[in-house]
């Protein structure tokens, strides 16, 4: 693990109040006026003994009422605890950012880099080309069900556009083990859609050109008739999804080849984009 020296950034706030008849001195922090002091943003990262790719995060608590963590996996920041843990299933370098929140909404930030040398053999990502970087489209098979909807790599994402009640999708093969739990997820963003579906399947029936695919049932899905994706959205599909079963967690009775199939269609998709596609075993 490689840690960069924490960089602490703070912002000082002052207020000046003036009245028509009298003048008031600028407000000062910590004098009972409710503004408080700037919170100290600093933290340590320590590997957890006996747990692969798991790290203990411990934040300083001086003048801190709450914290947000961004663990650098593309999922954005989230409210957490001053003492927290993070697990990285995949090898890589991650930037962890702490936002310390103090009285009056004052904030400061600190960051550190963590280098994870090896992927977790049980929970590593089984998807190839899931980052949607240049050349990752070669890992996917493209399927055009009906004209009107197109799927293309744009700006580091796989993007669905169009409508006209067309439908298009992508898929790839994944090797799975019987009786093991898996979870599928991805980052998804969009402009808002009209009469649109966007569905994720992981089944063991091989896709057939020109035929609909629904083996295993919808694992995760956006569906405007069910109330999601009607306005702009951005986040984990497992969080935004309003259709599908068991939050994207599933298992198979037989080992062998499975097919990760993602498709979208409808009257007007606007734009629906995905990246950081993951299918991994769950701990």
State the residue range of the domain holding 220. Answer: 136-281
Does 277 lie in the same domain as 140?
yes
CATH number at 92 reads 2.60.40.10
CA distance 222 to 71: 26
Is position 130 within any domain? Answer: no
Total domains, the chain: 2
Q: Please enumerate in sequence order all residues whose Cβ is within 8 A of that of 196, keeping only pairs 6 or more positions apart, or say none.
A: 163, 222, 223, 224, 229, 264, 265, 266, 267, 268, 269, 270, 272
- What pTM did the predictor assign? 0.69
Q: Please enumerate in sequence order all residues whose Cβ is within 8 A of that of 137, keeping only pairs 6 or more positions apart, or say none.
A: 129, 153, 158
Q: Please enumerate in sequence order all residues whose Cβ is within 8 A of that of 11, keeping only pairs 6 or more positions apart, or say none.
A: 38, 106, 107, 108
Is position 246 within any domain? Answer: yes
CA distance 55 to 59: 13
CA–centroid distance for 20 within its chain: 52
Q: Please enumerate in sequence order all residues whose Cβ is within 8 A of that of 122, keeping only pairs 6 or more positions apart, or say none.
A: 281, 283
Does 270 lie in the same domain as 168?
yes
Domain boundary among 116, 149, 180: 116
* pLDDT in single tens digits along all 283 residues of the chain: 444 433 333 322 222 222 322 222 233 334 444 456 889 899 999 999 999 999 999 999 999 999 999 999 877 889 999 999 999 988 889 999 999 999 989 999 999 999 999 888 777 899 999 999 999 999 999 999 999 999 999 999 999 999 999 999 999 999 999 999 999 999 999 999 999 999 999 999 999 887 889 999 999 999 999 999 999 999 999 999 999 888 999 999 999 999 999 999 999 999 999 999 999 998 6
């Amino acid at each position: 693990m490689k840690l960069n020296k924490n960089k602490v950034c703070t912002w000082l706030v002052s207020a000046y109040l003036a009245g028509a008849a009298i003048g008031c001195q600028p407000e000062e922090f910590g004098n009972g006026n409710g503004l408080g002091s700037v919170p100290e943003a600093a933290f340590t990262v320590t590997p957890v003994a006996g747990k692969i790719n798991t790290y203990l995060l411990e934040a300083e608590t001086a003048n801190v009422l709450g914290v947000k963590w961004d663990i650098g996996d593309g999922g954005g920041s989230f409210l957490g605890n001053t003492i927290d843990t993070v697990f990285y299933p995949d090898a890589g370098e991650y930037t962890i950012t702490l936002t310390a929140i103090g009285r009056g909404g004052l904030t400061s930030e600190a960051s550190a880099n963590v280098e994870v040398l090896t992927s977790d053999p049980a929970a590593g990502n089984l998807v190839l080309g899931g980052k949607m970087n240049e050349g990752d489209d070669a890992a996917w098979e493209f399927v055009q069900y009906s004209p009107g909807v197109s799927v293309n790599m744009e700006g580091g994402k796989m993007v669905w556009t169009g409508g006209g009640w067309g439908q298009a999708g992508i898929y790839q093969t994944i090797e799975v083990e019987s009786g093991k739990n898996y979870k599928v997820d991805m980052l998804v963003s969009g402009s808002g859609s009209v009469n649109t579906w966007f569905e994720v399947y992981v089944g063991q029936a091989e896709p057939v050109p020109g035929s609909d695919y629904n083996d295993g049932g919808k694992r995760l899905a956006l569906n405007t008739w069910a109330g999601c994706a009607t306005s702009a959205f951005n986040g984990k599909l497992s969080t935004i999804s309003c259709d599908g079963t068991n939050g994207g967690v599933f298992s198979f009775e037989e080992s062998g080849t499975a097919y990760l199939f993602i498709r979208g269609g409808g009257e007007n998709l606007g734009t629906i984009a995905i990246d950081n596609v993951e299918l991994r075993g769950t701990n």
